[in-house]
Structure 1
């Protein structure tokens, strides 16, 4: 809704809180919330609300929020779901900024719950109140002692957590409580996102001096595109790390085209988040470690990692783990190797990974000498120290502990002086040794898992890369509604699927490089059209009801002139047998083309992020290969090039087996043109160009399918990032 922005600071850092549903019963949430606020150090005003009580824990109790004499910023509503509407009605004349609705029984509970949720959102908007939840575990401002969750193991720190699962939040709180140097500034259980949504918290957290990184556990976003817009603006200063659940094949939605069937939830989410500069992780045990690394370490300028290990096994496993994450293990310069040889025994490996081969057993300060040489190497932009560091005093002799402590100080100072990220993986991380404490005090992560250490380094490289090109990437702003949608008339005729002929004609009219084509409606016409083409032809049935023509036996290739008429009849018969009810428009006639590299380029309207472009290896086995990349519209040239770089089969694009490389500029131009076409035609919900032949001379669209939405998308939902709910004091008319 247009208007002044929500005063979210009054919600996230309130000076006065009302507990609606306050209770004298010590077992009730309405009593425990007051205890937590009082004992947690909250210095703001606390107003218990209960019409049947007069005093709770020394506090005056009020019969309603409207009866409270002072200004209230935030209400914690712990009443049953059906009471919430009356509570919001009571707040009509107050200056309440927001409410945390704990209760379940809303949209997650079925149709009746959906109606109740719509009712409370309507009331909140009418009265200028923003809602957290419902179906939320609450919120916490750790540094202010504002704990509306009741969790008593939330360590203070610099990570803000936005989470859609109360149990997941408790798991992360517990994990952080067992680790030094990891803690939280804020927690919000976003719940059903009925009103306040993920993206609306980001600007506040970005500006918050206590927050250095934002952590998100996401099951689904109500407005993913608004999240992309907000994230893009803040990630250069405040990194965001997202763990998205529902990554299995079960989560993939069905669709009529290849593009739709390949647009798995996780694949799209990871790609568009990366496009916005957000770091995605796939495992829960990586989430806090990656966020902590991003919050405390400098960005990596490249994926080039130096590995320093005190054993061959750790060296090899670290190199494998880095390679699997797409990190590079560059060879060290001759000068660096000479420096290492001067301090290490002859058995040491000094090429990268560096294996000290016992050179640190009696003097752990040698780690510092080695690290200094590696960090100074021009080929290295990040360092992993892996093995036993910090545990020599435990494993061998207590006297080594003091040496390791001093080495830890020097390692941290070395990394800071060179502005180089350093991650330490140690088998003794769980022993909470003093050398590890020294490292953590200086912001150096120490982890036990080699996979987690590698994930942190990968995130630093990815984050650095994305921030470096942030101004060249999409702003995710879609155009306003257009009246120039040339395809919308088809919807008016009751059809949502264009035939291949119609799709190609629309694209050709827009200047796309489409293989020459014409439509035959009889066997004789097919023969005549084939006669006008020099060489054999490709023939395909044209039906808006048959998208995958090969499955229907509706494709014939390398057809000679003499066989064109008979092939026409055969194709029509095969189509009729495949789907007797299918409408048949005729047979498309096109000249045969050499394949080149077969690509698929398409667009699908993702439920969370809106229109998304796909590019990858195409052909009939596209679903089997699944070598594809995604980006959200509108696509920039930099986005399109990044998509091509994401395709795993780079050898094909670069010219395998002596073939010339694909004209990447032509592919990029086509991707950008597809983005522009879909923006101009918001009725398009899926577009499928498969195959697109790409070679050294350019690109050519061989097959095309276009699916239209019964209600054309208007592309107005995310023209800006203003809230969909009213700001304080506004009403939604």
Structure 2
């Protein structure tokens, strides 16, 4: 992370140099100076151009060397080939932060990519932070500073917004200005040659002007840094992200647009889940969540009261609540008694509270006051549909809700359905800081996100677990594999590596003949399993090269002959060293699979599932990014749909979940310790009431 003084120079500069200006109105540097002046920026502005021409009646410098030593921030609007040399001159002043608006870097291909890498090296050597290149700039409403090429300056507000995409930036500004929503900070990230999301979050998390942070991302720079910083941020403020590039087509487009690798959707979902990030489903959802989080307090629980003047919308809202984390709780007896005196006998009092179509402003007023005072509810969702009886009271109801919101400590979300008949009241509510949505589902989604955020903030700190391991032994096994030219660790080598991490591996012996197999089985103790031994055959079970629960020497010799013959016939080019004799796993057991692979952005991604159809066809898999904490391992096991099977429902007995948690944590430790292992599979893990053993493992070394 970069020093706070560098970030302060970027976000809170007292003086700004704009390099590459001219007297022409459409010059990017000239536009930025015009925007600084129009926004009311009180700091010093230093235009720089080769001719020394004044810009907007401000005296210009003809060279960077003439800039005062007090210059905090430089905004560079020059051709890409000239930027790095300018940075070196700025470092001598010294200027600690720069914004590069120029395009023509990593987004255009190889030539631009090399220019961007050179730019990044130069900036790091000069101990300077860079926003961009290929960005619009930034805004700080607290300083009345519009240091961007976008003329529409934001209202002052408490939402910090950042985006890789310039188009999303302009869209966000247009939406905010239309809705009367303001931003505290507004940041266009561009190509992120130096500054990425993690550094930006590190600053915004402690920014006193920011209540909620919202961002659009296509790729994330420095995935492991992001995990740490995002977690710290969400313990202080809500963080809402919209991530593009989830599909293969979208990922290709995002990679081309940003000029960087994209990680897998599974890895992004795991990253957001582990760090408490609220993930928006689309642009509309991102803006809806931003408004709700910025204007309402977080609910102190999941119980929601739904108040409506029609049954259908209330039912839709209840359905949406049940699909999420909200609870449709029953009003207290005292509230029910009050409602009986307010509403018709045939109204629904038990949540959703349906006041029926003849409800008017007075009905809303009395019902909402009763609900607001009921401790059974932590939040209130108010729905209004334009029934004939209420049309003349819509504005009055909106005004009453605004008055209630000032008295009530609970979050209030509204949904005024319809068109022109309710539009002015919607604007009235939104202008007063009360989110108002067109449809119940959208309103519930925002309230659900706020409830999840509150639940996340109340979570216990994760418990880090470190197991004993023989790191030097494990490292030597991996290095020996590389020296011998192999790219895969299988069988005994993989087992030895597992034992170095104290993973529960069964006793295993390599037998080259059936006689050796019989002796090994006698020493291990029947029953045993037998599987082909070959570094070139990995999917033994699928090829019929495994035999289990062998109970006698006769069965063992027969199985040895069948397996080796079948392997010779089906894998003609494979080098076969014999068979592995292995102790059987616990009885009354289930087979599970643990797997990890390295994501290009986040590092080791660990997955867990039941073996067989659950993994291969049903995709019933849970995933987390390493390093795992104890709660991560516990959640992974419990969130798969097949979890009841592990608890002994219908099939066999309940497995020892602690043993599976230990395996996940040990695998996480291995993945973090040994970056040479690109992928590893522990399949099957045989888990029973007494514990678990890893019957087979294979690892790809790179």
Same fold (TM over 0.5): yes
Please give the secondary structure, in 1, of the residue aligned with 2:236: coil
**Residues 221, 581 of structure 1: alpha-carbon distance in 2 compared, 3 angstrom cutoff:** farther
CA RMSD of aligned residues (A): 3.3
Q: 1:105, CA displacement in angstroms? A: 2.2
Q: Does 1:522 align with 2:513?
A: yes
Give the whole-Å Cα distance in 2 for the aligned partners of 1:143 and 1:398: 41
Please give the secondary structure, in 1, of the residue aligned with 2:158: strand
**Residue equivalent to 1:655:** 648
Q: Does 1:630 align with 2:623?
A: yes
Please give the secondary structure, in 2, of the residue aligned with 1:217: strand
Q: 1:499, CA displacement in angstroms? A: 0.5
Give the whole-Å Cα distance in 1 for the aligned partners of 2:53 and 2:324: 61
Q: 1:161, CA displacement in angstroms? A: 1.3
Give the whole-Å Cα distance in 2 for the aligned partners of 1:376 and 1:540: 68
1:495 is matched with which residue: 486, 491, 499? 486
Please give the secondary structure, in 2, of the residue aligned with 1:76: strand
Give the whole-Å Cα distance in 1 for the aligned partners of 2:401 and 2:666: 54
Please give the secondary structure, in 2, of the residue aligned with 1:211: coil
Please give the secondary structure, in 2, of the residue aligned with 1:60: coil
TM-score with structure 2 setting the length: 0.88
Q: Which residues in structure 2 correspond to 1:652-731 (within 5 Å)?
A: 652-657=645-650, 660-708=653-701, 710=702
**Residue equivalent to 1:383:** 380
Give the whole-Å Cα distance in 2 for the aligned partners of 1:110 and 1:83: 18
TM-score with structure 1 setting the length: 0.85
**Residues 367, 645 of structure 1: alpha-carbon distance in 2 compared, 3 angstrom cutoff:** farther
Q: 1:76, CA displacement in angstroms? A: 1.5
Please give the secondary structure, in 2, of the residue aligned with 1:58: coil
Q: Given that residues 599 and 618 in structure 1 are in contact (C-alpha distance below 8 angstroms), is that contact kept between their aligned partners in structure 2?
A: yes
Please give the secondary structure, in 2, of the residue aligned with 1:465: helix
**Residue equivalent to 1:160:** 160
**Residues 228, 566 of structure 1: alpha-carbon distance in 2 compared, 3 angstrom cutoff:** same
Q: Given that residues 214 and 241 in structure 2 are in contact (C-alpha distance below 8 angstroms), is that contact kept between their aligned partners in structure 1?
A: yes
**Residue equivalent to 1:602:** 595
Q: Given that residues 599 and 690 in structure 1 are in contact (C-alpha distance below 8 angstroms), is that contact kept between their aligned partners in structure 2?
A: yes
Give the whole-Å Cα distance in 2 for the aligned partners of 1:346 and 1:89: 79
Q: Given that residues 474 and 497 in structure 2 are in contact (C-alpha distance below 8 angstroms), is that contact kept between their aligned partners in structure 1?
A: no
**Residues 41, 4 of structure 1: alpha-carbon distance in 2 compared, 3 angstrom cutoff:** closer
Q: Which residues in structure 2 correspond to 1:186-205 (within 5 Å)?
A: 186-205=185-204
> Which residues of structure 1 form unaligned runs of 5+?
254-262, 711-733
CA offsets per residue over residues 321-345 of structure 1, 9 Å max, x none?
2233343334445554444333222
**Residue equivalent to 1:142:** 141
**Residues 449, 546 of structure 1: alpha-carbon distance in 2 compared, 3 angstrom cutoff:** farther
Please give the secondary structure, in 2, of the residue aligned with 1:657: coil
**Residues 619, 501 of structure 1: alpha-carbon distance in 2 compared, 3 angstrom cutoff:** farther
2:450 is matched with which residue: 460, 473, 478? 460
Please give the secondary structure, in 2, of the residue aligned with 1:178: helix
Give the whole-Å Cα distance in 1 for the aligned partners of 2:250 and 2:494: 29
Q: 1:8, CA displacement in angstroms? A: 0.6
Please give the secondary structure, in 1, of the residue aligned with 2:237: coil
**Residues 704, 341 of structure 1: alpha-carbon distance in 2 compared, 3 angstrom cutoff:** farther
**Residues 271, 401 of structure 1: alpha-carbon distance in 2 compared, 3 angstrom cutoff:** same
Please give the secondary structure, in 2, of the residue aligned with 1:207: coil
2:580 is matched with which residue: 583, 588, 591? 588
CA offsets per residue over residues 122-166 of structure 1, 9 Å max, x none?
222233321111122322223433223332445322111121111
Q: Given that residues 408 and 435 in structure 1 are in contact (C-alpha distance below 8 angstroms), is that contact kept between their aligned partners in structure 2?
A: no
**Residues 191, 292 of structure 1: alpha-carbon distance in 2 compared, 3 angstrom cutoff:** same
Give the whole-Å Cα distance in 2 for the aligned partners of 1:492 and 1:294: 55
Q: Given that residues 308 and 353 in structure 1 are in contact (C-alpha distance below 8 angstroms), is that contact kept between their aligned partners in structure 2?
A: yes
**Residues 61, 423 of structure 1: alpha-carbon distance in 2 compared, 3 angstrom cutoff:** same
What is the count of residue pairs matched by the alignment?
Answer: 687
**Residue equivalent to 2:99:** 100
Q: Given that residues 103 and 134 in structure 1 are in contact (C-alpha distance below 8 angstroms), is that contact kept between their aligned partners in structure 2?
A: yes
**Residue equivalent to 1:447:** 437
2:405 is matched with which residue: 391, 405, 412? 412
**Residues 406, 163 of structure 1: alpha-carbon distance in 2 compared, 3 angstrom cutoff:** closer
Give the whole-Å Cα distance in 2 for the aligned partners of 1:376 and 1:521: 79
